[in-house]
Amino acid sequence: MEPPHSHKGRGHGAHGPHDHDHDHDHDHDHDHAHAHEHVGTKETVKAAPSGGGHPGFTAQEAKQARRLTYVLILVTLFFGLELAGAMLARSSVLKADALHLLMDILALAFSLVAMRVAVRKPTERFTFGLRRAEPLAALINTVLVFGAVFEIVHDGLEHLGGDEKPAAGIMLAVSIGALIVNGISAWLLHGAIAHGGHGHGHDHGHDHGHDHDHDHAKAKGGGGGHHLNLRGAHLHILGDTLGSVAALVAALVIRFGGPASIDPIMSFVVAGILVVGAVRLLRDALMVLLESAPRHLPVDMIRTLTLAVPGVDSIHALHVWTLGAGHDAIMVHVLSKAPTPDLGIRVSEKLKKTLGVEYVSVQVEPEAVAPAPHCE
């Protein structure tokens, strides 16, 4: 998904005609049509919908959406079975695991909705599109998880002092079934996260006092791994797998004459697993919304790479952030004693080939020119 961008020369009225040099470099792993419209000094680059079953989805994103859908159907069907088993067995840990599974269902549903919203075309109001829908969905997921944790702990405390033993046979059957379902789901989601990445770039060099270069390239080997909601759903499934193991342990202990208190105790273990996953997801979502520099894109490394480009004498401003779902952005303002028309392109190419990011914007100014106030 590409943010629309336009370039307009500043202070051109007194200088007459301008020379514009456009260099377009496209690297595609999938079919992607582009329309370039030139009007005066303005240029708009539009990305046509790519294949994959949903407008705006790349082939990889369409594959991820399909796998999310498969997992959603699978866990929804099993949720009804596990909840019924928890009621029949009168088991706190099975009920906790069923609530955990419900959180998985909501996480998957939010992920699918957020993915579809995030690939909508940019508008005049939302110029980067709606990529931030995904971390917002992750925040909602964490709120729901904490609500489920409260219910699990409350139910476990009520059963902690009871002597009634749950039906170990039902617990065993349901927990084994849950492990199978979670194993299949984790495999599907891991495949969606681990495989991916495609690249496509646009380089626009402009020779009119300020050189701007914009490059769009899918992160190499990292895009899928940074999808907050895919990763969040994967963590939910892995956590639920641990919850199913806890239920299985409780069933075996009760089956072989152990105390009934193991059931609510194991439900607390499930609650703890949920909290750990929720805190991690909350942290990552907040980091995106607060526009922190991604951990895989250290600012010092980007600064070093930029200064290594011949012609770059200093960096006045450097901003690194994540739009969401692995779509990273870099904006850098460089100063040069003797700027060349292709300096912006060379800086962008260096960052693209080394880091592989979604969006790069490079502004070049002669070192003698005072920096613009907005860059201070």
Q: Above pLDDT 70, what percent of the chain?
A: 71
- Mean pLDDT score of the chain: 75
User: What is the pLDDT at residue 369?
Assistant: 59
What count of Cα atoms within 13 Å lies in the side-chain half-sphere of residue 284?
25
Instruction: Please say if the pLDDT value at position 75 is more than 70.
Output: yes
Decide: residue 255, CB within 10 A, 0-12 exposed, 13-18 middle, 19+ buried.
middle
* Cα radius of gyration (the chain): 26
Q: How confident is the model at residue 273 (pLDDT cuts 50, 70, 90)?
A: confident
User: How confident is the model over 125-168, as pLDDT tens digits?
Assistant: 888 888 888 788 888 888 888 988 898 898 889 888 777 789 99
What pTM was computed for the model? 0.65
- pLDDT (0 to 100) of residue 372: 56
* Selected residue with higher pLDDT from 322 and 199: 322
More confident: 29 or 168? 168
Say which residues have a Cβ less than 8 Å from residue 248's Cβ, sequence separation at least 6.
171, 172, 175, 176, 179
**CATH class name, domain 59-205+223-289:** mainly alpha
Helix (H) or strand (E) holding 347: helix 343-355
Average pLDDT over residues 283-306: 91
Cα 87 off chain centre by: 36
pLDDT above 90 covers a percentage of the chain that reads 29
- pLDDT, tens digit (0-9, with 9 covering 90-100), for 91-113: 999 998 898 888 888 878 877 88
| Strands 34-39 and 42-47, bridge-based pairing | antiparallel
Q: Inform me whether the pLDDT recorded for 58 exceeds 60.
A: yes
Residue 234 has a pLDDT of 75
pLDDT of 2 > 80? The answer is no
Q: How many CA atoms lie within 13 A of 303 on its CB side?
A: 10
Structure tokens at 94: 């099975």
Contact of 43 with 202, CB cutoff 8 Å? no
Q: What is the mean pLDDT of residues 236-251?
A: 86
Q: In terms of C-beta density within 10 A (0-12 exposed, 13-18 middle, 19 or more buried), how is residue 39 classed?
A: exposed
Tell me the C-alpha distance between 235 and 290, whole Å: 22
8 A C-beta contact, residue 57 and residue 197: no
Domain edges within the chain = 59-205+223-289
In this prediction, residue 4 has a pLDDT band, given cuts at 50, 70 and 90, of very low
Mean pLDDT over residues 259-277, rounded? 89
Does the pLDDT value for residue 311 go beyond 70?
Answer: yes
Secondary structure percentages of the chain, helix, strand, coil, to 5: 50, 15, 35
- Closest CA relative to residue 136, chosen from 274, 234, 282, 328: 282
